[in-house]
Structures are given as structure tokens and as C-alpha cells.
Structure 1
Amino acid sequence: MLYTRTGDKGESSLYNGERRVKTDRIFEALGAVDELNSAIGIAHHYCKKSANGLDEHLIEIQCNLQDIGSNIATPRNDASETQLRNTAFDDGHIEKLEGWIDTLDSKLPPLRNFILPSGGESSIFLHQARSICRRAERTTIPVVEANDADESVLKYLNRLSDYLFAAARSAAKHEGLEENVYKKAKSGREASIQTRAL
């Protein structure tokens, strides 16, 4: 059966068998990472639809987020050697992200203004995933500080938000769509929206 009733009293189990309340910092982080994965799933749909070349990256990132969830769900201070080995998160994933960021950024015009989430469906959903990624990073900080998760997990989430920003801009450029540029609204007047083609 899909349901187990074991969480009806507000607790759930971690990979090491420990039970904690669902409001524990670990489950907060797990929930944010799970939400991020879902948001990237939506972005993947639109990126594949537009054939912008980002869909394979996003699938790999989703798989990495599953591994990050396993790492977070296995408190490093109270896990067996086998559990630690099975849920370790390799720094190599961070280096790969950095390579993708550098490649995308090298093909984009320099950023001289704040931009608003815009630039078409692929771009907008990538921006949304970026903002969720920032929250996932924030909720993971106390988990890493308590030595319940590896520092590499936190580094990956930090780098991932940069990737998603570059990917959003790349998606807008691929579709030939403009980004909306932030412009401070003057008091008593409607804000004017500036656009810039990539």
C-alpha cells in the first residue's frame, strides 16, 4: 500500500532508522529540495519543448537532487559506514555545474541591470526554480552546520542557483525573447517596464 499510517502522529523515519518530528530541520531541508526537484521538472518540460539544449542538464540535476535528499536524510553523526558510503555526495558534481555555468555565460551578453523573471516559459520556470533553490540552500545550512549532511551538498545548491540563472537567460536568448529589466518606479506613477533583447 502507498500509505503506512506511521506518520499520522507527525513523525517520520530517516535513512538510518531514526524517527524525528516532521518539523525537524532535516525534513524542512528535504521538503525544499523536493519542491526544487518538482520545479525543475516543470522547467525541463518547457526546455525540451523549445529544444534549447538544457533538458539533459536538468535531468542530471534532478538525479543529483535525489542523491542530495539521501545525504540529508542520513545524519552523518549517527549512520553506519555503509550508509555514509551509499549516501556520500561527490564534489565532482559541483565542478561539472561550474563548467556548464561557464559555457552558458560565455555565450550571453554582459549583465548590466537587474532583470525580472521573464523571457518566455522556459526562462520563467527556470527563474522560479532558482528562487526555490535559494530557499533549499537556506534550509540546508543548519543541517550542514549540525554535521547532519555533507558540506558538498550545500556547495552544490549554492552553485545550482547560479546555473539556473544562467540557464534562464540562455533559454530566453534561444527563443529570441526579451528579458524585462528592473526600473525603480517613481512615486505616484506607474512603473515602466524596459525590455532588452538577448
Structure 2
Amino acid sequence: MKIYTKTGDKGTSSLYNGDRRNKDDMIFEALGTTDELTSNLGLALEFCEEQGDVEQLCEQIQWVQCCLQDIGSNVATPREHSNERKLARTVFDEEGKEVAKLEKAIDEMYAQLPPLKQFILPSGGRASASLHVARTVCRRAERRVHPLVRDNLCDPSTGIFLNRLSDFLFASARFAAMKKGKKEVIYK
């Protein structure tokens, strides 16, 4: 199988349901940003593995990357234009279990962190700083997905997960800095 298909040479691309849309369509903006997020998480994962002492966080990052693939499938299958079979295959976190898993991870990390009394700047070593970068990309992904949720093109759970994920990534960045023994830079 060749990696190139040439089907997008005229500025359109295909969704999971077979619809062809312009490459700058809001669905592709959302898909591209979630893809950028998972790539940033891949880099953060490398830095976390390099740092050591954050094995559980590494496992959580890999799980998040899988969830982002699932979100991509949901976003690539507009709810109002897709058949029931494709919709059933791309439902995301209908019962809120993935969001609950993020919340549990956040609570567990925050139980070990010193209280935050001031604003911090992205810092704390390469793993921490890369998680902060991923957090900012996550916020952009949320901004790209929200209009799709509002227009009933994807499941509301996708936006909820991305909202909670940015909190998880903030906690993760602080946690990685603490585990590395690096001080977080305080905003002055």
C-alpha cells in the first residue's frame, strides 16, 4: 500500500463517513489540532521516559494518546451525516468513564503536589515544559472542537474530555517538575 493517494491534490479530503470536504473545513482544523496534540504528547512522553520516576504518568500519556485517536474518529464522523453503523463505531465516552479517569489522575497528582499559591510560568525541566506546550495545544484543540459540539457534529463528550485534559496536562507538568526536583518559575 502506498502512503500517497493523490485524492487530496485538489484541496479536499475525505472523512470516515465518505464525505469530501475542503482541507480548511472546521472538521479538519479540529482533526489537525488533535493530531498536533497527540504528537506533542509523544514528545512529552519521550522526555518523561528520559527523566524516569514517572512511569505511571507515562502510561497515562499513552492512554490519552489513544483517547485522542478515538476523539479523532468521532470528529471525522459528523453525527448528522453518518449512518448508524459508523456512528456506533465512533461513539466517544458516552458514560463519562474516560473523563472520570482523568479526574482521578489529576486528584492523585495534586495530592502529592505543593499547593499552588501564585501563577507559574512553563518551566520545571524538559518533561514539564513539554507537557505545558501540550496543554496549550490542548486548549486550541478544545476551541476547534467546541463549534463542532455546538453544531451537533460530534459528541459533547469530546469537548468535555479536552477541557479536562488541559487540567490533567497542567497537573502532569507540575508533577513532572516535582519528580525532577526542579522548581517551577513563579510569575512576578
The two structures have a TM-score, normalised by structure 1, of 0.91
Aligned to 1:16: 17
Please list the CA deviations of residues 172-192 of structure 1 after superposition, one character each: whole Å capped at 9, or x if unmatched: 000101111111xxxxxxxxx
Report how far residue 103 of structure 1 moved.
0.5
In 2, the alpha carbon distance for the partners of 1:16 and 1:110 equals 47
In 2, the alpha carbon distance for the partners of 1:139 and 1:169 equals 26
Report how far residue 76 of structure 1 moved.
0.4
Report how far residue 120 of structure 1 moved.
0.3
In 2, the alpha carbon distance for the partners of 1:133 and 1:72 equals 15
In 1, the alpha carbon distance for the partners of 2:5 and 2:50 equals 38
Alpha carbon RMSD of aligned pairs, Å? 0.6
SS at match of 1:7: coil
In 2, the alpha carbon distance for the partners of 1:92 and 1:49 equals 30
In 2, the alpha carbon distance for the partners of 1:123 and 1:160 equals 15
One-letter code aligned to 1:36: L
Report how far residue 80 of structure 1 moved.
1.2
Aligned to 2:135: 130
Aligned to 1:41: 42
Aligned to 2:32: 31
2:92 aligned with 1:89, yes or no? yes
Please list the CA deviations of residues 40-75 of structure 1 after superposition, one character each: whole Å capped at 9, or x if unmatched: 000001111222121100000000000000000000
Aligned to 1:191: none
In 1, the alpha carbon distance for the partners of 2:125 and 2:112 equals 18
The alignment of Structure 1 onto Structure 2 pairs a total of residues equal to: 183
Aligned to 2:76: 73
In 2, the alpha carbon distance for the partners of 1:94 and 1:82 equals 25
One-letter code aligned to 1:75: P
One-letter code aligned to 1:49: E
In 2, the alpha carbon distance for the partners of 1:36 and 1:98 equals 19
In 1, the alpha carbon distance for the partners of 2:25 and 2:147 equals 11
SS at match of 1:164: helix
Larger Cα-atom Rg: 1
In 2, the alpha carbon distance for the partners of 1:48 and 1:69 equals 26
In 1, the alpha carbon distance for the partners of 2:49 and 2:60 equals 11
Please list the CA deviations of residues 96-152 of structure 1 after superposition, one character each: whole Å capped at 9, or x if unmatched: 000000100111111111100000010000000000000000011111111111000
Aligned to 1:194: none
In 1, the alpha carbon distance for the partners of 2:41 and 2:79 equals 27
Gaps of 5+ in 2: none
Aligned to 1:119: 124
In 2, the alpha carbon distance for the partners of 1:146 and 1:80 equals 18
One-letter code aligned to 1:64: C
Q: How does 1:168-187 map to 2 (within 5 A)?
A: 168-183=173-188
Report how far residue 79 of structure 1 moved.
1.0
Moved over 6 A (4+): none
1:56 to 59, 63, 66: 59
**Which structure is higher in RCO with an 8 Å CA cutoff and minimum separation 6?**
2
Q: How does 1:147-166 map to 2 (within 5 A)?
A: 147-166=152-171
Name which of structure 1's ranges 67-76 and 49-58 shifts more when overlaid on structure 2.
49-58
SS at match of 1:30: helix
